[in-house]
Each structure stands twice: as structure tokens, then as C-alpha cells.
Amino acid sequence: MNKKGELLVENIIFLVLNILFLMILVLFLIKQGSGAVLLEDAYSKNVALLIDSAKPLMSIHLNLQDLKDVSDKNGIPFSDILKIEGNYVTIKLSEKGGTKYHFFNNINVTSYPSKNDGEEGFYVLTFSKIKI
Amino acid sequence: MRKKINILYPNDLKVTNNLYPKYPEGHKGHKKGINNLYPKYPEGHKGHKKGTSTLYPNDLKGTRGHKKGINTLRGIKGIKGINKKGDKLLSVYWFAILVIVAVGIVLMVNSFYGKNYDVRAQESKILSQKVADCIYFGGEFNPLLINSQGGFRDDFKDNFLEKCLLNLTINEEFERPPYYVEAEFFSEGNLKKTSFFISEGNKNWKSDCNVTVSGRDKLATCSQNDFFAKTNSNSLYLIKILSIVGKVEENTN
């Protein structure tokens, strides 16, 4: 091969390898930031803090679109990703996964996926006083 | 008349006008439309004259007139050699640098995302705020806390968690509550003696609040909330609320 051809091939290989390297790096960063375990941990704690701050008769519309994207990939129905039972918030985004976090607010919480228009990927949390 | 100087001293090079390398032996010069690794002479350049030196390394061997002590480019093998080996060498180092950068980023990302999301500071503030709201809200004491004579009611203290809608116990057996909360009431006349005291939860966490060590995140997180409150009978109280959240395992590695 002539010199011009060699130079061209070498430069193209060099560029392709560089681009490949950068793509792998970016994909790694994106995957790390949107991992199921990480989201489960963060969202279970955030929802627990929301419930701790809530008062009876309040209603919170919670955007869980990020969780929906991951749960759809893992084959978990959106209606199953958030459970609130016995003062624990449980977020489950994969078959084997699931993270729970305790909240101290002694309040009755009902959670269900929103059916309102324009609220796809939203959950509704309603709060009421526990009847003794 | 052109001055013949065969050294590479920059000012002399300007005079000799020999920055353009000679063609190697056998090279027939430029043809139209053929790009060449050897640059064309600019217009007006008359080419190399015998005896003049150029920057072309192979020609440097034949240069004449160098005096001892003057550095020449004899050690360099040639521009062709620099392009080939130098480029390959550069690519190896370039990829070595990329690998180092990648390893660094992976380590940093792992150390960032590997840690648990610590929300105990926020949780303890919410707990302290919730207790404060339960005791005194909207400029008035909780009617369940103060009796008609202006004194504190002991039944509020006994049913503090229920009255303030708190559940500090966790369902797991033999597990101590990961929370502790206390409220101290000081009357305006004597800020050193507690007039009324309420506490709930695991008191063992309280010792963690005064510890100042480097691994502080492995201990419980505390939050103090102080405020003044006035009763209907115009008695002023300083109320100090201390809230502590344990949950070390859930919030740290």
C-alpha cells in the first residue's frame, strides 16, 4: 500500500478507537446513573421522607417516570413498583431487587398509579389519619 | 551575493533561504497533480546551491563548514522516520493515557455511586419539625399538652407518640428503634432547670451526638431545634427539641 493509503488507514483506525473508547465511557456513566439498585435506594428514601413530611388529607402526585423506564425494561408492571406497608416504603424495579425504607409518620397512606391525562408515570399518594 | 553559511543558526538560515529540503537521490521533482511529501519551492526560490546546508537531516551529514561545538541535527534519522515511529509511539502513549483516564473515572464513579444515599440529616430535621408542630403550632400550644391552669399534662407525655402521630418502632423483632426524640421545656424565669421533659425512642443514640471523630457518618445523626413559645396565660417557655436518627446500615456502606 502506498504511503498516503497507510496514513489514511492508520488515522481512521485511531479515530474509530478513540470514538469507541469515549462511547464506552459515556455508556458506563449513563448505566451507572440509571441502575435499578441506585434508583431503588434513592426513591425509597425520598418517598419515605415525603411521607414523613405529609399531613392527613394531603394528596401528592409523584413523578416516577425514571422508575417506569427501568421497570418496563425489567418486565415489572408499573403498578407493582411502589408498595407502602407497615411503615415501610418498598421500591421494586427488578425481579430479584427491592429496597425498603422505614418512615416514622404514623399516618394512613394509599398509593396508586395516576390515571389522569398527562400523568403517565405518576403515582398518587393520599394521606389520612389512622382510626384507632 | 549570497552569503554561504553552513550552520543552523536561525538568523543565518533566513539569509541562506534553505528551509526547504533537497530532493533525495533519484527523486525527479514535482509533477503536476502529484502531492509530494517534499514541499515545493516557493516562487522566486532558486533551489539549492552546492555547499549550502538544509534542514533535511540526511543532507546535514554532507554539510560543510560546521565548527566544533555547534550542535547539528545529525542524531535524527529523518523526517520519514519521525512520522512513522513517532506517530505509533504517540498512539501507544495516547491509549495509555486514555486507559488511565478511564480507570480514574470508573474508580470515581464507583466511589460516588457505591455509597448509600444518606438522608438521615433531612430525616432528623423532619422529625424535629414534626415534634415542634405537635407541641406548638400556629402561635398556640397543643391543647392536649397544656391544661386549663397553664400546667403541662402528664397524659400527653405518656401518649406522646400517639398524640403526635409518630411510630418509632420497626417491625423486626429484637430490634431497637432507630430513632430518639426528646423535648425539654424551660420556663422564662429559669433557663437552667427543665420544667417539663418528654422523650421517646432509643436513648442509646444520644451519646453519638457529642462525638466528633473522622468516621462520624458511622454514628447516628442528630438535629437540635430550639424555639420560644408563649401560653395563653402569657408564660414564656424555651423549648429544645433533639431528634436523632440511627439507621446507620441503610445510609452508609
Q: Of the ranges A14-18, A86-90, B223-227, which one carries the lowest mean pLDDT score?
A: A14-18
pLDDT at A105 over 90: yes
pLDDT at A110: 95
Q: Which residues of A touch B106 (CB under 8 A)?
A: 28
Return d(Cα A31, Cα A36) in angstroms, integer: 9
Find cell 552569503 and name the residue: B3
- Here the ipTM equals 0.80
Under 8 Å between Cβ of B18 and B8: no
Q: Is A30 on the interface with B (CB under 8 A)?
A: no
Would you give the distance in Å from CA B243 to the centre of its chain? 31
Return d(Cα A70, Cα A82) in angstroms, integer: 13
Q: Which residues of A touch B37 (CB under 8 A)?
A: 3
Find cell 389522569 and name the residue: A116
pTM, entire model: 0.68
Return d(Cα B225, Cα B126) in angstroms, integer: 11
Q: Is B79 on the interface with A (CB under 8 A)?
A: no
With CB atoms and an 8 Å threshold, state whether B87 touches A86: no
Tell me the average confidence (pLDDT) per consecutive run of 10 residues in chain B, 253 residues long.
47 46 56 50 54 45 44 45 59 81 87 85 96 93 87 91 90 80 91 91 90 84 93 90 92 83
- Tell me the shortest Cα–Cα distance from A77 to chain B, in angstroms: 25
With CB atoms and an 8 Å threshold, state whether A29 touches B105: yes
Q: How many angstroms separate the most distant Cα atoms in chain A?
A: 90
Return d(Cα A21, Cα B209) in angstroms, integer: 47
Q: Is A21 on the interface with B (CB under 8 A)?
A: yes
User: Which stretches within B114-240 are classed as H helix?
Assistant: 120-135, 154-158, 160-163
User: Residue B206's CB: how many other CB atoms inside 10 A?
Assistant: 16
Q: Give A96 or A75, the one with higher predicted confidence.
A: A75
pLDDT at B87: 63
Q: Which residues of A touch B250 (CB under 8 A)?
A: 101
Strand partners of residue B186: B194, B238
pLDDT at A26: 87
Closest residue on chain A to B119 (Cα): A45
Return d(Cα B253, Cα B247) in angstroms, integer: 11
Interface test with A, best of B37, B123, B248 (most A CBs within 10 A): B123
> For chain A, how many helices (H) and strands (E)?
3, 6
pLDDT at B113: 80
Q: Is A112 on the interface with B (CB under 8 A)?
A: no
Residue B103: all three cell numbers together:
480507570
Q: Which of B35, B110, B119 sits opposite A49 (nearest CB)?
A: B119
pLDDT at B41: 53
Under 8 Å between Cβ of A130 and A106: yes
Q: Which residues of A touch B122 (CB under 8 A)?
A: 49
> Helix, strand, or coil here: B173?
coil
Provide the number of CB pairs (under 8 Å) joining chain A to chain B: 69
Q: Which of B106, B162, B167 sits opposite A104 (nearest CB)?
A: B167
Q: Which residues of B touch A88 (CB under 8 A)?
A: 171
Q: Which of B91, B116, B166 sits opposite A106 (nearest CB)?
A: B166
| Residue A128 confidence class, pLDDT cut points 50, 70, 90 | very high
Q: Which of A3, A49, A87 sits opposite B167 (nearest CB)?
A: A87
pLDDT at B58: 45
pLDDT at A91 over 50: yes
pLDDT at B9: 45
Write the CB contacts of B192 (distance below 8 Å, at least 6 apart in sequence).
B186
User: Which stretches within B26-119 are classed as H helix?
Assistant: 57-60, 79-81, 87-113
The dihedral region occupied by B81, where left means phi > 0, alpha psi between -120 and 50, and beta the remainder, is alpha
pLDDT at B130: 95
Strand stretches in chain B, DSSP E = 136-137, 140-141, 179-187, 190-201, 221-230, 236-245
Instruction: Dump pLDDT digits (tens) for A20-70.
Output: 888 988 888 887 777 888 899 999 999 999 999 999 999 999 999 999 999
Interface test with B, best of A24, A28, A104 (most B CBs within 10 A): A104
Q: Which of B105, B161, B171 sits opposite A86 (nearest CB)?
A: B171
pLDDT at B227: 94
Question: Mean pLDDT score of chain A, rounded to an integer?
Answer: 89
With CB atoms and an 8 Å threshold, state whether B171 touches A29: no
pLDDT at B78: 45
Radius of gyration for chain B, computed over Cα atoms and rounded to the nearest angstrom: 43
Task: Please name the residues between 65 and 84 in chain A that touch chain B, using a CB distance below 8 Å.
Answer: none
Question: What Å distances lie between residue B13 and A47, B4, B17, B77, CA to CA?
Answer: 76, 10, 6, 21
Return d(Cα B242, Cα B220) in angstroms, integer: 12
> Helix, strand, or coil here: B126?
helix
